Amino acid sequence: MKNTFKIILISLFPLGAMAADLNSVQAGADADLKTALAEYAKLQDKIKEEKIPLSKALNNLQSELRDKRREAERVQRFKDNSTVDLNSLEERVSKSQEQLDYVANLVADFGERFERDISLPEHQVYEEEITAFKAASNIGSNEDKLAKANRLIEQAFMLSTSVDRFQALIGGQLFDGEAVVESGEVEQGKFLLFGPSNYFSSTSSEEAGIALKSALKPLIINIGIELDTTIKSTVTSGAGDLPVDPTLGSALAMAAQEETIWEHIQKGGIWIWPILFFAFLATVTSLFKLIEIYSVKMPQPGSLHGILKALNEGDRDKAMELAQEVRGPAKAMLVDAVEHSEESKELVEEVMYERMLEVQPRLERLLPFIAVTAATAPLMGLLGTVTGMINTFKLITVFGTGDAKQLSSGISEALVTTEFGLIVAIPSLIMHALLNRRAQGVMANMERMAVAFVNGLVRKN
């Protein structure tokens, strides 16, 4: 019992010591809590003291932020507006540049048309203006906008020149110049421009007439002694009557362009000569064959009947006599047939067929040459067309496409050779068909007579 009590006491002793320790810890914790609470109170007081200035500073910063944002928005709007204005300005500049280019092109086209449309005598009057206009137009492709504007200003004088020319033409314009008269000589004289008509009077001869365009100088066309005299008097005195061409020179120009067949042939170039050579041979051959084939005599319808009747009656001499009277290539065939009439029909048929084979080459000779001419003439014309176009492209390489007269020689060669090739081929083809049909008709008639002779020959047993 005592031992048990001792054990219990020993066991409770650490618990008492532990309780004492807990009390001391609690006392220390309370002291620390009081100290912490005191410091917390001090911090709260300090926070209260510092909170108001910080709030004021925060409000100030927020206010500055709002101001900065408004300023940023204003700057952004200004930037956007500036971009829009710049784009609009660039668009306006681009449109203005397009208008400037359009007007410059119109003025350039007007100057080119002015040079092209004025009559050849007027080139002698406006040569300086045309040269100045071309000089103003001779600006490189890398020109700036100011250069284009300056070029337009320098070219604008052509408009006033055109107005002055129009006013001068209304009342008539008289000036000195050179022209080519109908004799081919260049003579000095006076030109009178009245509206669209150009008149010329030579000062060194009696030549006078209407001036037309030509390659280098105006070409003077005489329209009659009486009218030429009237023109000369009017041009010399500056007053009088003038003949008026209602076609504005077109009729005279067409009359001046009329050419002979020889001049037309010469435009065909080198390949026109083989075509004409074949045409000559084909013509001669066709005429020869036409005479030869159509002169072939055809047997009378009753001649074969008489020959067969005599043979069937046994009168061979009479049959031979009747066969000798037959005209044309059938004569030899019938004579041989009568000579071999005593033989078998197969032999008679072979003899007559041999005679037909002898006649056929004579009838059809030279016909292939006409057919060859009909086939080769268009090909030679096509060859001339190709060479003419090659020459045309060569001229385009040298002179460009501005002047059609420079290209006329190559185009003429291309078209004239084709024209003559067809002119030769079509009649040759028709003549070959006609002659060949006639030859085949002669052969068919002989074949028909041969069949009739064999079928009509009666054998006696």
Q: How many CB atoms lie within 10 A of CB 234?
A: 20
Report the pLDDT averaged over residues 254-281: 78
Least confidently predicted of 95-99, 210-214, 344-348, 383-387: 210-214
**For residues 399-428, average pLDDT:** 76
Mean pLDDT of the 180-200 span: 73
- pLDDT on residue 447: 84
pLDDT average, residue stretch 298-321: 77
Q: Average pLDDT, whole number, for the chain?
A: 75
The mean per-residue pLDDT over the stretch 142-162 comes to: 66
Residue 404 has pLDDT above 70, yes or no: no
Q: Is the pLDDT of residue 356 over 60?
A: yes
Window from 50-54, 69-73, 140-144, 278-282 with minimum mean pLDDT: 140-144
Bigger pLDDT: 406 vs 285: 285
Three-class secondary structure assignment of the chain = CHHHHHHHHHHHHHHHHHHHHHHHHHHHHHHHHHHHHHHHHHHHHHHHHHHHHHHHHHHHHHHHHHHHHHHHHHHHHHHHHHHHHHHHHHHHHHHHHHHHHHHHHHHHHHHHHHHHHCCHHHHCCCHHHHHHHHHHHCCCCCCCHHHHHHHHHHHCHHHHHHHHHHHHHHHCEEEEEEEECCCCCEEEEEEEEECCEEEEEECCCCCEEEEECCCCCCEEECCCHHHHHHHHHHHHHCCCCCCCCCCCCHHHHHHHCCCCHHHHHHCCCCCHHHHHHHHHHHHHHHHHHHHHHHCCCCCCCCHHHHHHHHHHCCCHHHHHHHHHHCCCCHHHHHHHHHHCCCCCHHHHHHHHHHHHHHHHHHHHCCHHHHHHHHHHHHHHHHHHHHHHHHHHHHHHHHHCCCCHHHHHHHHHHHHHHHHHHHHHHHHHHHHHHHHHHHHHHHHHHHHHHHHHHHHHCCCCC
Question: Which residue would you say has higher pLDDT here, 104 or 361?
Answer: 361
* Averaged pLDDT for residues 177-205: 75
In the structure, what pLDDT confidence band is assigned to residue 84 with cuts at 50, 70 and 90? low
Mean pLDDT of 305-324: 79
pLDDT of residue 426: 92
Mean pLDDT of the region 35-43: 82
Given a cut of 60, whether residue 1 has pLDDT beyond it is: no
Query: Which has more pLDDT, 460 or 285?
Result: 285
pLDDT for residue 9 is more than 60: no
pLDDT over 80 at 374, yes or no? yes
Per-residue model confidence as pLDDT tens digits over 201-230: 887 787 877 676 655 677 676 666 766 777
Q: Which of the four pLDDT bands, split at 50, 70 and 90, describes residue 430?
A: very high
| 304, pLDDT greater than 70 | yes
Q: Between 383 and 461, name the one with better pLDDT.
A: 383
Least confident of 127-136, 137-146, 242-251, 452-461: 137-146
Domain boundaries, given as residue ranges, for the chain: 172-258, 272-456
> Does the structure show a pLDDT above 50 at 142?
no
How large is the average pLDDT for residues 153-177? Answer: 69
Whether residue 362 has pLDDT greater than 80: yes
Identify which has the larger pLDDT, 167 or 34.
Answer: 34
Q: What is the pLDDT of residue 141?
A: 44
Q: Read off the pLDDT of residues 241-260 as tens digits, 9 standing for 90 and up.
A: 777 666 655 666 665 566 67
